[in-house]
């Protein structure tokens, strides 16, 4: 690598906020080691130390506060909550695969049952391949999902056991080997905690030792109260630990289940895939056939197998898995919404900003409006947006959900301003030398704008865009909460509404997700901004 490309690489790393890697690279090259060590200390060690200190303080202080949902979660509980969200999406993945499998079984079944009818299909009977092969593959798949479903049920069944003896009996009753093996893991690692907690919890609730009686002296009453408080705190901590353990066990189960699904031999997979392909190609043909029959019937000709065709048509119709949104999908929805809002905002703000920057009078005209609307909170915009959009957006077959549009427009209304203001300033403050070039060359208006003014203003425009995206992302959560757009905001709201012992950890997971994604978006925008800026921070 030449020195030049090396320097460019280092510059690039710095623009994408990876400057802290640079001392490591230089150290590996043996360049001035003591300076690099110092740079690593100040650029890497100190931030890591700060994060560790934060985690330590969080960990020690969180368990001191007991809420109606248990103790305030510490870092480990939040991490565990993230793990259970991951489990949830793995479970959805497994359920969807099972859904597809059952659909496939049904379709093969129907094509067998109505093979006589299918012979009349315009274009000939469909080719589903060798029926014996198909049956074998379907049976193999059914077996896999039998195993998987039992496996996923193990920890529920075992953890309600009274003691180790009954748990082992339950384990014996399992049909498949993997479930039995997994049951022993659950018995070893989860069951003792479950039993201990249940016992402690029951004792605490039943015990009268903590009940303050009328006859108790002040002193005794105070002691009882203190004891009660201490015991409930101990229980809360125990429960937190138990939840973490449950989540670990579920992670093991879902991972094992997915591995089992992936372990289906490729030969079997190929047969199953060809069944799916045949089903997909049959779908439009059946549809067209049924329509043709209906038309013929309207014209007077009867077809005696119409009901059978209808049944076939229904079973081959597109039937996607109606699962619930997973956390990852909710993040996706949020990102989509914020980008839509950001796009709307940019499409309005950049042209308007250019016009304001070019003409002082237009700028003076818009300025009071900008100053008044800029500080308005999304919570104030949203009801207005909901009412207006609700009145205007009433298509029969909506391409976008109403909640999505409401959130996106609210985001746009709040994130419009930084881009607008920065674009106007950028355009208005175009270097006089550049404008003189345009004057001397007698560039026409169009060329002046696109060759001189806009490129000169681009760094500031991108500064504005970066600020806008930051504002948009911050505002989005509030907008989604109120508009019930199925993203992170709604997730937080739902968690808050159906309060459980995991509520707080889940919301904290959302807090970190929002923070980390916001940081990533900002880094992307920062890199873009550096890329379009010129002069000192030359583009790479």
Partner 1 sequence: MSTLPDYQLVTSQLTKIYPTAKGPAVIVKDFELKIRKGEFVSLIGHSGCGKSTVLSMVAGLNDVTSGGIFLGGKELDGPGPDRGIVFQSPSLLPWMSALDNVLLGVNQVFYTASREERRQIAEYYLNVVGLGSSLNKKPGELSQGMRQRVGIARAFALSPKMLLLDEPFGMLDSLTRFELQQVLLDLWSKDQKTALMVTHDVDEALFLSDRIVCMTNGPEAEVGEILEVEFPRPRNREAVMEHPDYYRLREHLITFLEERAHIRTPKPDPEAPRDDPPALEEEQNISAVRQGMIGGIDQASAMLNHIN
* Residue ranges that bind partner 1, judged by CB under 8 A: 431, 433-434, 436-437, 439-443, 451-452, 455-456, 458, 532, 534-535, 538-539
Long-range contacts of 358-362, Cβ-Cβ distance < 8 Å, separation of 24 or more = 358/427, 358/428, 358/449, 358/453, 360/428
CA distance 510 to 484: 16
Which of 507/532 has CB closer to partner 1?
A: 532
* Minimal distance, residue 533 CB to partner 1, in Å: 9
Closest CB to partner 1 among 8 and 308?
Answer: 8
Using an 8 Å Cβ cutoff, are 491 and 305 in contact? no
Looking at the Cβ atoms of 311 and 458, the one nearer to partner 1 is: 458
Q: What is the DSSP string of 451-465?
A: IIIHHHHHHHHHHHH
Minimal distance, residue 436 CB to partner 1, in Å:
6
CA 336 to chain centre: 11
Minimum CB–partner distance for residue 56 and partner 1 (Å): 46
CB 95 → partner 1: shortest distance, Å?
Answer: 53
Tokens 């504005």 correspond to what residue? 464
CB of 270 or CB of 447, closer to partner 1: 447
d(CA 506, CA 501): 10
In whole angstroms, the minimum distance from the beta carbon of 10 to partner 1 comes to 16
- Closer CB to partner 1, 116 or 431, in the complex: 431
Query: What phi and psi, each to the nearest 5 degrees, are found at residue 2?
Result: -75, 160
d(CA 15, CA 354): 27
Nearer to partner 1, 239 or 451 (CB): 451
Q: How far is the CB of 539 from partner 1 (least distance, A)?
A: 8
Q: Is the dihedral of CA 285, 287, 293, 295 positive or negative?
A: negative
Neighbours of 356 (CB within 10 A): 25
DSSP lists the bridge partners of residue 70 as 67
Q: Which is nearer to partner 1, 77 or 430 (CB)?
A: 430
User: In terms of CB distance, is 52 or 539 closer to partner 1?
Assistant: 539
Nearest approach in angstroms of CB 492 to partner 1 is 43
Distance CA 216, CA 68 (A): 27
Spatial separation of the C-alpha atoms in residues 257 and 417, rounded to whole Å: 50
Shortest Cβ 448–partner 1 spacing (Å): 11
CB 407 within 8 A of CB 487: yes
* 3 state SS of 106: helix
Q: How many CB atoms lie within 10 A of CB 270?
A: 12
């Amino acid at each position: 690598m030449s020195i030049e490309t090396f320097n460019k690489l280092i510059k690039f790393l710095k623009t994408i906020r990876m400057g802290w890697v640079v001392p490591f690279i230089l150290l590996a090259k043996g360049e001035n080691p003591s300076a690099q060590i110092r740079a690593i200390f100040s650029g890497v060690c100190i931030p890591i130390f700060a994060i560790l200190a934060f985690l330590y303080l969080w960990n020690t202080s969180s368990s001191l506060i007991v809420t109606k949902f248990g103790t305030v979660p510490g870092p480990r509980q939040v991490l565990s909550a993230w793990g259970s969200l991951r489990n949830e999406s793995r479970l959805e993945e497994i359920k969807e695969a099972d859904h597809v499998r059952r659909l496939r079984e049904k379709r093969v079944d129907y094509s067998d049952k109505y093979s006589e009818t299918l012979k009349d299909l315009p274009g000939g009977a469909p080719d589903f391949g060798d029926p014996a092969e198909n049956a074998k593959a379907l049976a193999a798949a059914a077996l896999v999902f039998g195993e998987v479903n039992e496996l996923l049920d193990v920890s529920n069944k075992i953890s309600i056991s009274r003691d180790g003896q009954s748990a082992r009996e339950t384990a014996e009753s399992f049909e498949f080997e993997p479930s039995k093996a997994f049951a022993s893991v659950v018995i070893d690692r989860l069951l003792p905690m479950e039993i201990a907690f249940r016992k402690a919890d029951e004792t605490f609730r039943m015990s009268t030792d903590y009940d303050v009686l009328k006859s108790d002296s002040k002193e005794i009453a105070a002691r009882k109260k203190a004891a009660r408080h201490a015991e409930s705190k101990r229980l809360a901590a125990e429960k937190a630990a138990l939840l973490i353990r449950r989540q670990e066990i579920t992670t093991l189960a879902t991972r094992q289940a997915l591995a089992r699904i992936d372990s289906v031999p490729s030969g079997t997979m190929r047969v199953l895939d060809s069944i799916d392909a045949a089903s997909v190609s049959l779908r439009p043909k059946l549809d067209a056939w049924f329509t043709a029959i209906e038309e013929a019937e309207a014209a007077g000709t009867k077809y005696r197998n119409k009901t059978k065709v209808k049944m076939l048509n229904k079973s081959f119709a597109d039937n996607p898995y109606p699962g619930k949104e997973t956390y990852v999908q909710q993040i996706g929805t949020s990102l989509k919404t914020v980008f839509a809002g950001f796009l709307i905002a940019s499409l309005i703000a950049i042209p308007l900003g250019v016009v304001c920057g070019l003409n002082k009078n237009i700028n003076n005209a818009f300025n009071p409006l900008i100053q008044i609307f800029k500080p308005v909170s999304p919570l104030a915009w949203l009801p207005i947006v909901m009412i207006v959009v609700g009145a205007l957006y009433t298509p029969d077959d909506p391409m976008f959900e109403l909640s999505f549009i409401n959130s996106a427009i609210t985001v746009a209304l709040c994130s419009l301003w930084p881009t607008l203001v920065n674009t106007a300033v950028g355009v208005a403050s175009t270097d006089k030398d550049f404008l003189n070039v345009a004057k001397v060359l007698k560039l026409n208006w169009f060329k002046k704008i696109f060759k001189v003014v806009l490129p000169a203003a681009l760094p500031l425009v991108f500064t504005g865009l970066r600020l806008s995206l930051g504002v948009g992302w911050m505002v989005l959560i509030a907008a989604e909460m109120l508009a019930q757009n199925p993203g992170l905001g709604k997730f937080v709201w739902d968690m808050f509404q159906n309060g459980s012992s995991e509520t707080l950890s889940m919301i904290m997971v959302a807090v970190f997700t929002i923070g980390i994604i916001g940081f990533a978006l900002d880094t992307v925008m920062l890199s873009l901004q550096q890329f379009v800026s010129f002069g000192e921070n030359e583009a790479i």
